[in-house]
Amino acid sequence: MPTYLFRFTIASVPDRQEVVAEIFFGDIQVAELNTESGDLSIEIYPRPNGKPWCLDAEQFLQAIMEARMALLGKSS
C-alpha cells in the first residue's frame, strides 16, 4: 500500500469549535483528530460500504503522527 494514499488536511468544520485534522485514504475520510475535550482525540470512521478498514499499520500511524504535529503546530 503506497504511503501517498494517505493524506491529511487541517480544517475548520461546523460541528467543532477548534480546527481538526482530517485523515484520508485516497478520497475517503478515515479519521479525524481533534482537541475538543482538551486532550487529543481520534475518531475513526467506517468505510462507506460498511466493511472494516484493512490499512497498513505503519503507514496509518505515520499519517496520524504527521496530522498530529500539524494540528498541534509542531514541526517534525
- Residue 62 within a domain: yes
Q: What is the DSSP string of the chain?
A: --GGGEEEEEE--TT-SS-EEEEEETTEEEEEEE-TTSS-EEEEPPPTTSPPP---HHHHHHHHHHHHHHHTT---
- Residue 8 within a domain: yes
Which three three-digit cell numbers place residue 59? Answer: 503507514
**How many domains is the chain partitioned into structurally?**
1
Give residue 61's domain range: 3-71
- Residue 10 within a domain: yes
- Residue 76 within a domain: no
For 24-33, write each residue's pLDDT tens digit.
999 999 999 9
For 21-55, write each residue's pLDDT tens digit.
999 999 999 999 999 999 999 999 999 999 999 99
For the question of whether the overall pTM of this predicted structure is more than 0.75, the answer is: yes
